[in-house]
Amino acid sequence: MNRVLLASAALLLLLPAAEGVAKSSDRNQAMNIESDSQSGIVNGDGTTVLGGNVALSQGSLAINAARAEIIRRNGELSKAIFTGKQVKMRQQLDDGSWMDAQADRVEYDMTNETITFIGNYTVKSDRGANSGQRMVYNTVTGNIQSGGDGSRVRTVIQPKSAPAAQGKK
């Protein structure tokens, strides 16, 4: 098994399907977005660009970035793209623990319920950490895909006996 596949398989241990998925009730909460500036559409389909101190919250999900593009399709929010050095994200998991992440770019696809971390990303939870250049995280299943693009992926898995303190703040 090559190193990328081994690291990806090991990372699946970080987020067990039954316990490690994003808080399911978050998807049914209102999305609140604040920024220093906004230009674009208010109603209908299209893109709105937000600049300066962008903060998105939806239930326990919180994302902070320098800039964001919010895309509406068929009258619904479909995608949000956050950029900055670095975009920061925090979300509670269904088991009550927290996942913290950062990357140069974060793409939140509401239609497919995935979050893609691009560029110098790090994702941490009580069970361990993963870092590299690109990761796709499914907020429903907890499945991740990282590496495979020629870059290295680094995974740290905490032993079961390790205290669960990393994600608590």
Spatial contact of 20 and 127, defined as CB atoms under 8 Å apart: yes
What b-and-e string marks burial along 63-87, b requiring 16 or more CB atoms within 10 Å of the CB?
Answer: bbbbbbbbbbeeeebbbbbbbbebb
Spatial contact of 136 and 122, defined as CB atoms under 8 Å apart: no
Spatial contact of 15 and 140, defined as CB atoms under 8 Å apart: no
State the pLDDT at residue 75.
83
Tens place of pLDDT per residue across the chain (169 aa): 333 333 333 333 333 333 345 566 777 788 888 999 999 977 789 999 999 999 989 888 899 999 999 999 988 889 999 999 899 999 888 788 898 999 999 998 989 989 899 999 999 988 889 999 999 988 888 788 988 778 888 888 888 776 554 444 4
Which two structure tokens, joined as six digits, stand for 84?
């900055």
State the pLDDT at residue 58.
87
CATH number, span 3-157: 2.60.450.10
State the pLDDT at residue 140.
82
* Domain coordinates in residue numbering, the chain: 3-157
Global pTM value: 0.75
Q: Is 18 exposed, middle or buried (0-12, 13-18, 19+ CB in 10 A)?
A: exposed
Alpha-carbon separation of residue 130 from 40, 41, 54, 71, 91 (angstroms): 35, 37, 25, 28, 16
Which two structure tokens, joined as six digits, stand for 147?
């590496």
State the pLDDT at residue 109.
94
